[in-house]
């Protein structure tokens, strides 16, 4: 029997095929039409309660509005049709709320403007979405902490410009990843007070329609919704939401960096790490041997997409006078998609890193493929006290050329040079050409990163 897919979704965010690859159900729910309209209603009801507290409208009217305004009574088809005509959803919503509330309906939306309701609703969405991101980052940091601790002393080749440079440890690499997300955790906390604020200014932002009650109502509205109070109206000051999306770009940028490392390290020639094995995941339609790093690929794609939205949000900051003529609308695209993509990328990261398969033997093997050349600096610095730095450099340089041209190992080439053997016996040469003996402070940096992370 054929199952017919009834969904008419046309983007990855709502696609039955791709939505869980590029997002999560929890984050989609926060930004769904239903949730958004519910937030509009929440703000309108909170406004009525705030105005009743300030004596602007009667307590009885506010009670009726709070009791009767219900999303279950919303005719979404009617609201959609009117929104297409008006260009914004608030007037269509207010029409229906007025109908619901009878005589008290006269006081719905009192003194507010459309953008007040929409901005405050999005501030509520962003506040709640940041809670989700904050939790995901904390869970990811716990995974990275365990991974860094486990591989504190696992030697591997450090690479610069995609060439082997000096030995590091895998734990050191993970500690660098961890430190990025420690900073992101702090950024989320620091940013919240700048973003989770109420918007209530009226037509041109001056609260003129409420006379001397404007600030009182604004403060009461913020209290009703659990939001902060802004110093000034922010109808055209969009730095808060722009900061939020640009933070998401930083988060997904860090995930993209991790993804790139994993993808290269999982390549056949490196074969140092693998994403967790799940039967069929990463399979090729033509090559049965393939095991593609799917989670990393999705993380990288998300990083690129959120980067685009971060730029869009910066562009949308350039708004004319006291109410914008278009840039505001761009936020409606960028904010939900950025949060959904970020949640999806964090979900993929927790999966990939939570079950990451680390091949320590292969790391050790790769560390030896240069036949000791990776520790040429170590040898030079060991010899310098006896020969002087420049002469040590020249001696080791000649030994490296011998390895490159004639084969053998660096230890063997050094053991054939009298300028070396008069200061070092073969055991000493072997020790100073062992990559595991030239890790610098990599293990100690892991300890420092773990200690700092535990305090955040």
CATH code of residue 52 = 1.10.275.10
More confident residue, 89 or 3: 89
Q: List CB contacts of 424: < 8 A, sequence separation 6 or more.
A: 382, 383, 414, 432
Q: What is the predicted pLDDT for the residue at 280?
A: 60
Q: pLDDT tens-digit profile of 59-74?
A: 999 999 999 999 999 9
| Any domain includes 248 | yes
Q: Which residue has the tokens 């309660």?
A: 49
Q: What is the predicted pLDDT for the residue at 286?
A: 52
Q: Which residue has the tokens 């009117």?
A: 82
Total Cβ atoms within 10 A of residue 183: 13
| Any domain includes 137 | yes
Q: pLDDT tens-digit profile of 335-361?
A: 999 999 999 999 999 999 999 999 999
Q: pLDDT tens-digit profile of 392-418?
A: 899 999 999 999 899 899 999 999 988
CA 318 to chain CA centroid, Å, is 25
For the cut 70, the answer to whether the pLDDT of residue 175 exceeds it is yes
Total Cβ atoms within 10 A of residue 102: 12
| Any domain includes 456 | no
Instruction: Provide the domain limits for residue 424.
Output: 373-432
417 and 271 within one domain: no
| Any domain includes 5 | no
Q: pLDDT tens-digit profile of 243-298?
A: 999 999 999 999 999 999 999 999 999 999 999 877 665 555 555 455 789 999 99
Mean pLDDT in residue range 433-443: 91
Specify the number of domains making up the chain.
Answer: 3
- Residue 372 — pLDDT band, cuts 50, 70, 90? confident
- Residue 5 — pLDDT band, cuts 50, 70, 90? low
| Any domain includes 275 | yes
More confident residue, 286 or 204: 204
Distance (Å) of CA 134 to CA 28, 269, 325? 16, 36, 33
| Any domain includes 327 | yes
Mean pLDDT in residue range 86-114: 92
State the catalytic residues: 161, 284
124 and 172 within one domain: yes
- Residue 146 — pLDDT band, cuts 50, 70, 90? very high
| Any domain includes 428 | yes
Total Cβ atoms within 10 A of residue 132: 17
Mean pLDDT in residue range 156-180: 95
Give the rounded percent of residues in the chain with a pLDDT score beyond 90: 75
pTM confidence score: 0.92
| Any domain includes 56 | yes
Q: What is the predicted pLDDT for the residue at 4?
A: 53
348 and 259 within one domain: yes
395 and 307 within one domain: no
For the cut 60, the answer to whether the pLDDT of residue 169 exceeds it is yes
Task: Using alpha carbons, select from 226, 136, 238, 223 the residue that is nearest to residue 188.
Answer: 136
Query: What is the rounded average pLDDT for all residues in the chain?
Result: 92
- Whether 370 contacts 164, CB under 8 Å: yes
Report the alpha-carbon distance of residue 140 to residue 411 in Å, rounded.
Answer: 42
Written as six digits, the tokens of 230 are 């802004």
394 and 325 within one domain: no
> Residue by residue, what is the 3-state secondary structure of the chain?
CCCCCCCCCCCCCCCCCCCCCCCCHHHHHHCCHHHHHHHHHHHHHHHHHHHHHCCCCCHHHHHHHHHHCCHHHCCHHHHHHHHHHHCCCHHHHHHHHHHHHHHHHHHCCCCCCHHHHHHHHHHHHHHHHHHHHHHHHHHHHHHHHHHHHHCCCCEEEEEECCEEEEEEEHHHHHHHHHHHHHHHHHHHHHHHHHHCECCCCCCCCCCHHHHHHHHHHHHHHHHHHCCECCCCCCCCCCHHHHHHHHHHHHHHHHHHHHHHHHHHHCCCCCCCEECCCCCCCCCCCCCCCCCCCHHHHHHHHHHHHHHHHHHHHHHCCCCCCCCCCCHHHHHHHHHHHHHHHHHHHHHHHHHHHHCCEECHHHHHHHHCCCCCHHHHHHHHHHHHHHHCHHHHHHHHHHHHHHHHHHCCCHHHHHHCCHHHHCCCCHHHHHHHCCHHHCCCCHHHHHHHHHHHHCCC
Q: pLDDT tens-digit profile of 29-54?
A: 999 999 999 999 999 999 999 999 99
Last residue of a domain, one of 323, 348, 366: 366
Q: What is the predicted pLDDT for the residue at 1?
A: 45
118 and 98 within one domain: no
251 and 360 within one domain: yes
CA 369 to chain CA centroid, Å, is 36
More confident residue, 311 or 324: 311
For the cut 70, the answer to whether the pLDDT of residue 6 exceeds it is no
137 and 280 within one domain: yes
- Residue 3 — pLDDT band, cuts 50, 70, 90? low
192 and 131 within one domain: yes
Residue 228 pairs in a beta bridge with: 197
Last residue of a domain, one of 366, 392, 410: 366
338 and 308 within one domain: yes
394 and 317 within one domain: no
Q: What is the CATH number of the domain that holds 174?
A: 1.20.200.10
391 and 418 within one domain: yes
């Amino acid at each position: 029997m054929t199952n017919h897919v009834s969904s008419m979704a046309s983007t990855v965010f709502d696609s039955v095929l791709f939505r869980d690859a590029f997002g999560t159900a929890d984050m989609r729910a926060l930004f769904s039409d239903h949730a958004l309209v519910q937030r509009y209603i929440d703000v309108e009801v909170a406004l009525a309660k705030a105005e009743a507290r300030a004596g602007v409208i009667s307590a009885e009217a506010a009670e009726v509005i709070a009791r009767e305004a219900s999303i279950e009574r919303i005719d979404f088809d009617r609201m959609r049709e009117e929104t297409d005509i008006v260009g914004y959803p608030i007037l269509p919503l207010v029409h229906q709320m007025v109908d619901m509330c009878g005589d008290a309906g006269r006081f719905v939306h009192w003194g507010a403007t459309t953008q007040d309701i929409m901005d405050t609703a999005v501030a509520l969405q962003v506040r709640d979405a940041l809670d989700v991101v904050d939790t995901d980052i904390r869970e990811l940091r716990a995974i990275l902490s365990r991974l860094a601790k486990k591989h504190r002393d696992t030697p591997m080749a450090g690479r610069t410009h995609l060439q082997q440079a000096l030995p590091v440890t895998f734990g050191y690499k993970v500690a660098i990843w961890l430190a990025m997300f420690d900073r992101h955790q702090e950024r989320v906390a620091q940013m919240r007070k700048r973003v989770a604020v109420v918007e209530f200014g009226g037509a041109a932002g001056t609260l003129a329609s409420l006379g001397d009650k404007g600030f009182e109502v604004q403060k009461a509205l913020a209290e009703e919704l659990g939001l902060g109070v802004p110093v000034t109206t922010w109808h055209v000051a969009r730095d808060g939401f722009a900061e939020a999306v640009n933070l998401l770009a930083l988060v997904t940028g860090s995930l993209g960096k991790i993804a790139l490392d994993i993808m290269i390290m999982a390549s056949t020639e490196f074969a140092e790490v693998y994403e967790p094995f799940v039967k069929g995941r990463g399979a090729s339609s033509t090559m049965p041997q393939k095991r593609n790093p799917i989670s990393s690929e999705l993380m990288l794609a998300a990083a690129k997409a959120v980067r685009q939205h971060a730029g869009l949000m910066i562009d949308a900051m350039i708004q004319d006078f006291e109410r914008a003529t278009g840039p505001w609308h761009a936020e409606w695209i960028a904010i939900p998609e950025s949060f959904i993509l970020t949640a999806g990328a964090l979900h993929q990261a927790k999966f990939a890193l939570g079950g990451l398969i680390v091949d320590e033997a292969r790391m050790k093997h790769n560390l030896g493929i240069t036949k000791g050349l990776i520790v040429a600096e170590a040898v030079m610095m060991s010899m310098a006290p006896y020969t002087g730095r420049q002469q040590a450099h020249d001696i080791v340089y000649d030994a490296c050329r011998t390895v490159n041209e004639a084969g053998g190992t660096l230890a063997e080439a050094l053991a054939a040079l009298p300028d070396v053997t008069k200061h070092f016996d073969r055991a000493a040469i072997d020790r100073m050409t062992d990559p595991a003996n030239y890790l610098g402070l990599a293990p100690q940096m892991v300890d420092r990163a773990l200690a700092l992370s535990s305090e955040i």
